[in-house]
Amino acid sequence: EVNEVKKIAVIAGDGIGPEVVAEAEKVLKRTEELFGHKFETEHALFGGIAIDERGTPLPDDTLAICKASDAVLLGAVGGPKWDNNSKELRPETGLLGIRKALGLFSNIRPAVIFDCLKEASTLKPEVLEGTDLIVVRELTGGIYFGEKFRRETENGQEAVDTCVYNVSEIERIARQAFEIALTRSKKLTSVDKANVLETSRLWRETVIRISADYPDVELDHVLVDNCAMQLLRRPSSFDVIVTENMFGDILSDEAAMLTGSIGMLSSASLGEGSFGLYEPVHGSAPDIAGQGISNPIATILSVALMFRLTFGYHEAAASIERAVKNVLDAGHRTGDIAVDKSSAIGTTAMGDLIVAAM
Ligand code: NAI
Ligand code: MG
């Protein structure tokens, strides 16, 4: 098992994407040396650079490389150069396309507080103490994908958005969340609006039914408005949160801000089985691209997430997470997380320190 070769499609993308992905690849290499795991990486074109070189943001061979892989590591795409392109020649269209083509129906975002960065958050350090949670957001259903239209009525124009969820959509995301909860502290919070919405009532019934298969996981249900409050009041009381698309969109951004900098946030998009696409939450940061000052930690932590969720390499993941913590504890900072900007270190220096600390 340990020596099984895992295939990883590497998509660097645009802007700071190639810089941060290069540091994440150093971490992959170091993991091979330290833990005996074996990775075969294949680079693929995607986003703006693919538009320039191939005339499409998502070339067929890139998709084929992803499909033939166990996981995808993605940097970021986009930039002003392509902003005025037509829809099919925009990098973002490639992002939606790749998620759909790979059947990725959930988005997962951890929010972890690093003690030494607590001061950078807008919340009080004592409120943040011990926060380590994951938001599991349903990604392909609900009101964002329901029928939408406008109509003329005798009272003027009306707009309609519809929210639809079927049982199987809820079941698969619920199972995924329970599985993730099993790898952590076995506590799952399902967030809905079951006092008002019919889709939420079906959501809650279905999650409760699936919970019978996970007797070791403690399940509770929280209404979305209350969850929004509790995230700010006692974030450390949450472990895994599972919720539908729109609630998850809002709550995952709220949870992200608990931790301060966008340069620290990792994410995963998962489908059936263990396959996943891993990427930093941030974009291509054109304002700092090419200067070698971007923070590679979000991408490096995305590798740790890949190890946990796709490969089950928990020891290697913990080694990366500990290394990041130790490097930060020792006072090293890239510009985005530095209080004293003049002492900030660059992208490769940060990557090298983390690799050395593993
Ligand atoms: P952004 O996340 O790229 O940048 C926002 C701000 O955070 C900028 O000031 C940037 O310098 C800073 N920042 C981001 N990542 C950082 C890092 N690792 N280290 C240090 N500072 C960092 O978001 P923005 O500016 O809204 O979008 C820029 C481009 O990225 C756009 O073309 C957008 O469409 C694209 N984008 C792509 C995403 C993806 O590939 N998944 C996600 C979000 C945006
Ligand atoms: Mg959002």
What pLDDT digit, counting tens, does each position of 80-96 carry? 999 999 988 999 889 88
Query: Which ligand has an atom closest to residue 248 CA?
Result: 2
* DSSP state for residue 207 in the 8-state scheme: H
What are residue 197's phi and psi, to 5 degrees? Answer: -100, 135
Sequence letter at residue 146: G
Q: Which residue has the higher pLDDT, 306 or 93?
A: 306
pLDDT tens figures, 53-86: 999 999 999 999 999 999 999 999 999 999 999 9
87 is known to lie in a ligand binding site? yes
- Alpha carbon of 152 to ligand 1 centroid (Å): 40
Q: For residue 17, give every residue at least 6 positions away whose Cβ sits within 8 Å of its Cβ, in sequence order, or none.
A: 11, 47, 74, 75, 76, 77, 284
What pLDDT score was predicted for residue 60?
97
**In the chain, where the domains are located:** 1-107+264-358, 122-258
122-258 belongs to which CATH class?
alpha beta
Q: How many CA atoms lie within 13 A of 234 on its CB side?
A: 3
Q: Tell me, yes or no, if the two domains 1-107+264-358 and 122-258 fold the same way.
A: yes
The active-site residue, picked from 193, 239, 313, 336, is 193
* Minimum mean pLDDT range among 5-14, 203-212, 247-256: 247-256
Share of the chain above pLDDT 70, in %: 99
What pLDDT score was predicted for residue 136?
98
The active-site residue, picked from 52, 61, 115, 253, is 253
The Cα 18–Cα 261 span in angstroms is: 20
Residue 225 annotated in active site? yes
What pLDDT score was predicted for residue 121?
80
Mutation probe of ligand 1 site: the residue of 262, 287, 334 with most atoms within 8 A of C-beta: 262
Q: What is the mean pLDDT of residues 309-329?
A: 96
**Per-residue pLDDT band at 1 (split at 50, 70, 90):** low
Residues with CB under 6 A from ligand 1: 16, 20, 76-79, 92, 95, 262-263, 279, 282-288, 294-295, 298, 336
205 is known to lie in a ligand binding site? no
Residue 52 annotated in active site? no
| Cβ(180)–Cβ(238) below 8 Å | no
1-107+264-358 belongs to which CATH class?
alpha beta
The token duo for 210 is 């699936």
Closest to 94 (Cα-Cα) out of 251, 284, 274: 284
Residue 193 annotated in active site? yes
pLDDT tens figures, 165-205: 999 999 999 999 999 999 999 999 999 999 999 999 999 99
What pLDDT score was predicted for residue 325?
95
Q: For the whole model, what pTM was predicted?
A: 0.93
Residue 70 annotated in active site? no
Strand ordering across the sheet containing 276-280: 38-43, 5-13, 71-76, 276-280, 266-270, 106-112, 132-138, 240-243, 187-192, 218-223
What atom of ligand 1 comes closest to residue 279's alpha carbon? 41
As a three-state string, the secondary structure of 113-129 is: CCHHHHHHCCCCHHHHC
Share of the chain above pLDDT 90, in %: 88
Q: What is the mean pLDDT of residues 25-53?
A: 97
Residue 287 annotated in active site? no
Q: For residue 163, give every residue at least 6 positions away whose Cβ sits within 8 Å of its Cβ, in sequence order, or none.
A: 142, 143, 146, 197, 199, 246
The token duo for 98 is 């790749």
Q: Which residue has the higher pLDDT, 307 or 116?
A: 307
What pLDDT score was predicted for residue 3?
67
The Cα 358–Cα 317 span in angstroms is: 10
**Per-residue pLDDT band at 114 (split at 50, 70, 90):** confident
Residue 2 clears pLDDT 70, i.e. is over it: no
The Cα 107–Cα 136 span in angstroms is: 6
Residue 311 clears pLDDT 90, i.e. is over it: yes
Q: What is the mean pLDDT of residues 352-356?
A: 98
Nearest CA to ligand 1 atom 23: 283
